[in-house]
Amino acid sequence: MAIDAMCQIEQKGLNERLALSRSTRRLGIRSPIARGLAHKLLLETVRNQNLLDHIINTVLKPDYIGDLQPSLRAFLRLYTSEVKIKGNGSYEKASNIAKTGRSIIGWRRFREIEETLGFLLGLKINKILKGLSDTETVSLRMSQPLWFVKYCFHLLGRHETLQFFSSLLTSTPTYIRINTSKMSAEKSLKTIRRDGITLQKTKDLLHTYKVVDHTQPLPRTPSFKEGLFYIQDKASCLASEVAAPEAGMTVLDICAAPGAKTSHLAQLMDNRGEIFSIDYSRRRMRIWKGEMERLNVKNATPLVSDSFHSPPLHEIEADLIMLDPPCTSTGVFSRTPSAKWRLSKKSIKRSAAIQWKMINNCVEPLKKGGFLVYSTCSITVEENEILIERFLKWHPEFRLVETKPRIGLPGLRGQTLSQRLFPHIHECNGFFVAKLEKEF
């Protein structure tokens, strides 16, 4: 499953979760244990891909890993991860992995890399990293693109960057939001705990809990199926609480699918008022519809529309607009490590251009005295503070207001009313949120 999913990630640009889901169906694997093990192998291997490729290319010279067929590339990366990175590369284990790979790929094709496996087993990583620059060494040791290392050194400083990168080598904790639209928090918590889920309340957020332990996958539990909770990162929960919607308001949720923000807003509004949830993807909006039914959301209307162009908002007068536009996702590399290998420094400018168009397209329906909440799961200033600076210059009718509750750090470039969250400090996704009021 891991080999097949890695091939799909590389060839079709899928994220880890979707690639593994398709591989599971294609191979007819039903065991949740097997899926969990494959997911772990997949994340570990993709996360360290640049270091793995550097090691492999050292052995393959003058050839290059990119010259191999996709399945051979995937296997070599997985093999190198298991026998070199995890530090338990015994000959017996390496031999067993090679035997498994041979049975999956076929011995005729496998012969192409057979000799390489022995060389990899005896290679010393420290030796091949000698003579590299500091940024190159950090890039390989911390498994981050070289351009991103240089960017973060400039933005955060070397010490803070190393701490940030260390946190990206492991997954951040899982959080859930108790859904009081279905049942009281007290009753829900009792039911959830009976399902073998151990929780820890998150300070300063209303219904957010860290998952300390669970005996089965969360989506398979009866309490999840009953809609008693939503799996949602702490940072995402913060954005809705910053918005502070009130019962009876008219709210626009831009880029709404698959429904985290909409369902949270509805919960905070006691299902009173109206939420227009807009997203361009029909597939994601079908998921949105199912989630609204599961979570007992009664006051949300779906609109399939591309907010990069002109969304159908002419007849709507909104008290609140939530915009969580597409971004580079530099704050969630620990969850979707394949994303970092698809990005370049130019990706930041492309994302910022899309975000600029979307934020300008969506503000017209906002009433005087209404609020716009802008958030991304990126840590770059171009997608966050610089974009907000530019927006305020172009729209003098808006002003920044404080984002409450305060659980993050102040924004950069003097935007202390905004908030930033980092995985190494706040144990959640990297995140930015700003709140703006329309004064006239």
Distances in whole angstroms, Cα of residue 91 to Cα of each of 9, 95, 120, 150: 30, 6, 11, 38
Query: Rounded to 10 degrees, what is the CA torsion of 350, 355, 357, 362?
Result: 160
The pLDDT score that the predictor gives to residue 365 is: 93
- What is the mean predicted confidence (pLDDT) over 372-398? 98
Query: Which of the following is catalytic: 237, 255, 362, 377?
Result: 377
pTM value is 0.93
Nearest Cα neighbor of 434 from 345, 280, 334, 323 is 323
The pLDDT score that the predictor gives to residue 391 is: 98
For the residues of 372-400, what is the DSSP string, one character each? EEEEES---STTTHHHHHHHHHH-TTEEE
Contact status, residue 433 vs residue 242, Cβ threshold 8 Å = yes
pLDDT above 90 (res 87): no
**CA dihedral sign, ordered 409, 412, 417, 421:** negative
pLDDT tens sequence across 175-209: 999 999 999 999 999 999 999 999 999 999 999 99
pLDDT tens sequence across 28-80: 998 988 999 999 999 999 999 999 999 999 999 999 999 999 999 999 999 99
> 176: buried, middle or exposed (CB in 10 Å: 19+, 13-18, 0-12)?
buried
- What is the mean predicted confidence (pLDDT) over 388-394? 98
CATH 3.40.50.150 fits 239-438, yes or no: yes
Higher pLDDT, 217 or 139: 139
The residue extents of the domains of the chain are: 2-129, 134-168, 178-231, 239-438
Bridge partner list, 186: none
The pLDDT score that the predictor gives to residue 32 is: 86
Residue 324 and residue 394: Cα distance in Å, rounded? 20
Give the confidence band of 309 by pLDDT, cuts at 50, 70, 90.
Answer: confident
Percent above pLDDT 70 for the chain: 99
Q: Which CATH architecture has domain 2-129?
A: Orthogonal Bundle (1.10)
Give the confidence band of 310 by pLDDT, cuts at 50, 70, 90.
Answer: confident
Does 239-438 match 2-129 at the fold level?
no
Q: Let me know if 428 is a catalytic residue.
A: no
